[in-house]
Amino acid sequence: MDIIKARRSIRSFLPKKIPDECLSLILEAAQWAPSACNQQLWHFIIIKDNNLKTRLTYEAGASKLIMKAPVVISVCYHSGNIKEGIQSASSAIENMLLMATSLGIGSLYLNSFGKEVKVKQILKIPDEIFVVAFILLGYTENNPPPPKRRPLGEIIHENYYVEHRKETFSHDADKWTLNSIRDFQERYCRKTDLGTRMDIINQMELKLFKILLSKEKCDNILDIFSYDGTLLDYYPDTKIFSLNLGNETSLFTTYAANKKIEQLIFEGFIPLQDNSISNAFCIFKLERIPYEDFHNLFSEVKRILRNDGKFILFFRSKNSLYGFIHTILRIKFKDDIRKSGIYSFFGPYSPLIPAKVISSLRKAGFSSISEEKFFIIPPLFDDFYQLLLHYYASDGGSFYHREHRKSFIGKLIHKIIGLQKICSTKAGSIVVLTAKK
């Protein structure tokens, strides 16, 4: 049980060779796993060659994490019976992960190995064999703390299935509750290393944020729903309060910020005194919570702001070219955040109607609200194009941990976006609201 609980999914490895005797023990552990009808029709391809890893990354669209691992093992099985193959290979995989843990070796069970047809071509795998997963092995410098687990009561059923909770996977934030978003984020933020910047924010958007931020002078700030700490390093000399929905996401933010910040949990109220905060920022996070929760959040922000303080919100507008493109992608990938790389690291995501946000701010008591819009051509169009390239190159894989793919169209899109000036427009894709008490 100690080994089971000590196992972690490791995504960052030291450039240290795994001894052959350790690798042999890991493979022997796989060999002793149960298999359907004891057929043992598995095959394990050990990949150490960097040229092969590069080909798998660029040609097959595999996750670039494989470039970090000293050893990659392609776990394969005979395709006579797919269910038997998946079950038997998975048993062997778990044995490998546990043996690696017992030897002090980090491991990762990876399904983002890319387009299987290409993988089989590169690794010369015959037609009758299919790829189940890649296993990454290597020594890790730091062992992350254990992730939060669901209570047993939510996953155990006596005799018959009883629905303890309804899972939500829609892009539409209004179909979620804050509790369901909190639960999703606390589990999903550990899909990668603690401290990894997971948000998809274009460099032009970051430049806009930095320009506008430089105009604000404040001795402390509240960063609302930081999650991955993407923007916290933009406040080098300011005391930061980071508001999140759960303890796990607060831990993630702490690692990402790599600096001293004060963590706060939002449970219907903000645990700060009245009139205590200079400025509050909500940067591309409002799109991820239900509209019905805006009023309570805004009222709490108003309460804690100083009389001369500002509440500044950045969000992407539904009434723009960006909103149109996002709708097209939703139609393409369907309304399920697991089916694409569109911001699914945080849970739901939907661009907002500015008038509705302004209305909620006014109802919360903000008396002065100014609005600016930027970028008629949305900077994220560049990232959306990359998403599509990765999707087709990897046969439906996700956006994250992928190499930037170069193409003529991609360069043209990047150039057109870059021609835009950072100035206020009438029909921009990004809306910046500044609210005062």
Give the helix/strand (H/E) hosting 219. Answer: none
Cα 350 to chain center, whole Å?
A: 16
CA dist 410 → 94, 330, 342, 362 (Å): 40, 21, 18, 41
Residue (of 58, 61, 108, 52) closest to 399 by Cα position: 61
Strand 220-224 versus strand 129-138 pairing type = unpaired
3-class DSSP assignment, residue 97 = helix
Residue 209: per-residue pLDDT: 86
Residue 398: per-residue pLDDT: 59
Residue 342: per-residue pLDDT: 62
3-class DSSP assignment, residue 437 = coil
DSSP symbol at 404: P
Residue 345: per-residue pLDDT: 65
Residue 328: per-residue pLDDT: 86
Residue (of 165, 36, 45, 26) closest to 105 by Cα position: 26
Residue (of 115, 122, 131) closest to 62 by Cα position: 115
How far apart CA 213 and CA 147 sit, in angstroms, is 34
Residue pointed to by tokens 């991609």: 410
Give, for all 437 residues of the chain, the pLDDT tens digit: 999 999 999 988 999 999 999 999 999 999 999 999 999 999 999 999 999 999 999 999 999 999 999 999 999 999 989 999 999 999 999 999 999 999 999 999 999 899 999 999 999 999 999 999 999 999 998 788 888 888 898 899 999 999 888 889 898 999 999 999 998 888 887 777 776 777 778 888 888 888 888 787 788 999 999 887 777 777 777 899 999 999 888 888 888 777 788 999 999 999 999 999 999 999 999 999 999 999 999 999 999 999 999 999 999 999 999 999 888 878 887 888 877 666 666 788 889 999 999 999 999 999 999 999 999 999 988 887 887 788 778 877 656 667 778 888 889 988 988 888 888 888 899 999 999 99
3-class DSSP assignment, residue 93 = helix
The token pair at 315 is 């969000």
How far apart CA 66 and CA 88 sit, in angstroms, is 23
Residue pointed to by tokens 């194009």: 385
3-class DSSP assignment, residue 179 = helix
Give the helix/strand (H/E) hosting 241. Answer: strand 239-244
Strand 368-374 versus strand 430-436 pairing type = antiparallel
The token pair at 316 is 């992407």
Please list, residue by residue across 42-73, b when 16 or more beta carbons sit within 10 angstroms of its beta carbon and e when fewer do.
Answer: bbbbebeeeeebebbbeebbbbbbbebbbbbb
Cα 395 to chain center, whole Å?
A: 19
| Residues constituting the chain | 437
Residue 270: per-residue pLDDT: 97
Which domains are seen in the chain, by residue range?
Answer: 2-138 (3.40.109.10), 175-371+430-436 (3.40.50.150)
Q: Which residues contact 174 (CB under 8 A, 6 or more apart)?
A: 290, 291, 292, 350
Whole-model pTM? 0.86
Residue (of 390, 388, 368, 380) closest to 413 by Cα position: 380
DSSP symbol at 107: E
